[in-house]
Amino acid sequence: RFEVNVYDFLPKENSKLITHCQSKNDDFGNHTLYLNQYQQWAFHQDVFKKTLYFCHLWWNGKQQTFDVFSKHLSGDCQTGIGGNICSWIAKADGIYFSPDRVTSAGPIGVPQKRYDWQ
């Protein structure tokens, strides 16, 4: 079982984050997140390891689209505290990845920046 989380850690004065996450079979639609809020879902990877989820994020006139779970990312998600977790954290300077859950104080470990806003 895997868990994906998308967190809003954007500046307090302008933290409105719009997310649209989906796979071939599941479309979660648009969600609006504010500071310290998150979107979460869990699933089992298919037997052929072809499960793919991606998200499109919008914030303050910027955007980014990226895979949040794939066969290639599944190994990264298995290294953290608490199991098979893929956490994506939206910050003002970009999108970060952590294999751990995130608290209101921030990530448990040190997240890695993976994407800049476009």
Inform me whether the pLDDT recorded for 59 exceeds 70: yes
Residue 76: strand, helix, or coil: helix
Taking residues 73-84, report their average pLDDT.
77
CATH of 2-116, one of 2.60.40, 1.10.150, 3.40.50, 3.90.25: 2.60.40
Q: What is the pTM of this model?
A: 0.91
* Separation of alpha carbons 108 and 89, rounded Å: 12
How much is the pLDDT for 60? Answer: 96
Taking residues 88-109, report their average pLDDT.
86
Q: What are the sequence ranges of the domains in the chain? A: 2-116
Beta strand residue intervals within the chain, DSSP E: 2-8, 17-23, 27-33, 38-43, 53-59, 62-69, 85-91, 94-98, 102-103, 106-107, 112-115
Dihedral class, residue 24 (left if φ above 0, else alpha if ψ from -120 to 50, else beta)? alpha
Inform me whether the pLDDT recorded for 15 exceeds 70: yes
How much is the pLDDT for 81? Answer: 64
The tens digit of pLDDT for each residue in 30-56 reads 999 999 999 999 998 887 788 999 999
Q: Which pair of structure tokens corresponds to residue 44?
A: 């089992």
Pairing of strands 106-107, 102-103: antiparallel
